[in-house]
Amino acid sequence: MRFLMLALLAAAAFAQRAPQPPPVVSPEILADARVTFRLRAPKATEVSLRGEWMAPNTTVPLSKATDGLWSVTVGPIEPELYTYSFLVDGTSTVDPANPLLKEGNRGPSSMVDILGPPVNYFAWRDVPHGTVHVHHYNSQSIHANRRVHVYTPPGYESSKDAYPVLYLLHGSGDTDAEWSTVGRAGMISDNLFMDGRLRPMIIVMPDGHAVKSGDREARARNTELFEADLMGDIIPLVEKTYRVNPGHDSRAIAGLSMGGAQSLNISLRHLDKFAYIGVFSSGIFGSTEAFQKEHAAVLAKGAEWNKQIRLFWVGIGKDDFLLEANKNMLDTLKQAGIQTDFRETPGGHTWKNWRVYLRDFLPRLFRERP
């Protein structure tokens, strides 16, 4: 009788257990570069997709099946690495079936990687790869717990060599992780190195948001505080922890958007620290007059600047909303006699451009003047 009761209870429990739906595959990249996106949301009444490859402020609706699985197939999509998200009854959400994420300072988004020849420069190849290290440190300069990502090149662990360093800064809304995950700085460096186009270097990717507060007055001091952290804590941390060549000729600084403005202003205040400068999709933030006043001493000595700086590389897209700020910067530097290497490209304020800029900037670093 006891065994019969146990068998009946087990049968009842099995009967009450709902069948598990199959795992959701999303995104599914098809052979013709179309992509199917799926989301299981049986209680949702409306689901749509928005992606970086689409026109601004546009979405594509998903269709709902009887089992509560929403789906849509779009494309073909041009090869590139894109961010996307779902809107579920008006609320933005990442794709829960996709582990490929952009962290973001304002919240995460999903990513889809469409492979093809145009993006081979940052695609994974079966070659020796560098390593991305994550450091958590206490900044004595700004009294905060901070994080920084550091890329070391292939062969670093088995070598005794010392390396030059690029300090690579992200834009507003991103974190110190984005140059690795979205910008693919490590992959780009690995591929350039294996193609014989790159002198191996360490790439330091710090957190450019020194102020986490939403207060406008506090945020206005962000560059000032980040500069204190970079010069007072990050550079000493890197030069203590890694085998680096210290000194002006072995340091570069570059960044995109907010990070480009930080690179510009910090390098102007520390001509003795950086020999290579890159400004991507950025320029003078604020009034030109205030910028000229702040950096008057340096702008009055353009010839001296040109002797100390081995490369000042500037890139921006023709459709970038910061094109005017970029023009103001270039005009101001030109009036001071400061030489720049300027490149204007198609497109706007996007990672598609910033990855290309990094690819073209890196091989120019730590070389002798032509």
Residues 45 and 178 in one domain: no
Residues 276 and 245 in one domain: yes
Residues 146 and 251 in one domain: yes
Band of residue 3 on the pLDDT scale cut at 50, 70, 90: very low
Q: Which residues of 58-81 are buried (b: 16+ CB within 10 A; e: fewer)?
A: eeeebebeeeebbbbebeebebbb
Domain of 316 in residue numbering reads as: 131-364
Question: pLDDT per residue over 102-161, tens digit each?
Answer: 988 778 999 999 999 999 999 999 999 999 999 999 999 999 999 999 999 999 999 999
Residues 51 and 188 in one domain: no
The answer to the question of residue 53 being in a domain is yes
Amino acid 6: pLDDT:
42
Question: pLDDT per residue over 36-75, tens digit each?
Answer: 999 999 999 999 999 999 988 899 999 999 899 999 999 9
The answer to the question of residue 79 being in a domain is yes
12-21, 317-326, 348-357: lowest mean pLDDT where? 12-21
The answer to the question of residue 11 being in a domain is no
Residues 206 and 352 in one domain: yes
Q: What is the mean pLDDT of residues 225-235?
A: 96
Of 68, 90, 117, the last residue of a domain is 117
Indicate the average pLDDT of the chain.
91
Of 117, 149, 178, the last residue of a domain is 117
The answer to the question of residue 252 being in a domain is yes
* Cα 238–Cα 240–Cα 246 angle in degrees, nearest 5: 70
Band of residue 4 on the pLDDT scale cut at 50, 70, 90: very low
The answer to the question of residue 251 being in a domain is yes
Residues 103 and 233 in one domain: no
Residues 85 and 148 in one domain: no
Residues 244 and 209 in one domain: yes
CATH for 172: 3.40.50.1820
Amino acid 5: pLDDT:
47
The answer to whether 4 touches 78, Cβ cutoff 8 Å, is no
CA–CA gap between residue 178 and residue 174 (Å, rounded): 6
Residue 34 has pLDDT above 70, yes or no: yes
Residue 25 has pLDDT above 60, yes or no: yes
Residues 327 and 226 in one domain: yes
The answer to the question of residue 188 being in a domain is yes
Amino acid 370: pLDDT:
41
Residues 51 and 193 in one domain: no
- One-letter amino acid at 135 equals H
CATH for 103: 2.60.40.10
CA–CA gap between residue 18 and residue 269 (Å, rounded): 66
Of 61, 84, 117, the last residue of a domain is 117
Question: pLDDT per residue over 250-270, tens digit each?
Answer: 999 999 999 999 999 999 999
Residues 110 and 155 in one domain: no
The answer to the question of residue 5 being in a domain is no
Amino acid 211: pLDDT:
81
Query: Quick one: CA torsion of 325, 228, 276, 332, rounded to 10 degrees?
Result: 30
Residues 269 and 137 in one domain: yes
Based on the structure, what is the number of domains in the chain?
A: 2
Residue 207 has pLDDT above 80, yes or no: yes
Q: Phi and psi dihedrals of 258, rounded to 5?
A: -55, -40
Closest CA to 281 of 256, 318, 258: 256
Amino acid 166: pLDDT:
98
The answer to the question of residue 6 being in a domain is no
Q: What is the pTM of this model?
A: 0.90
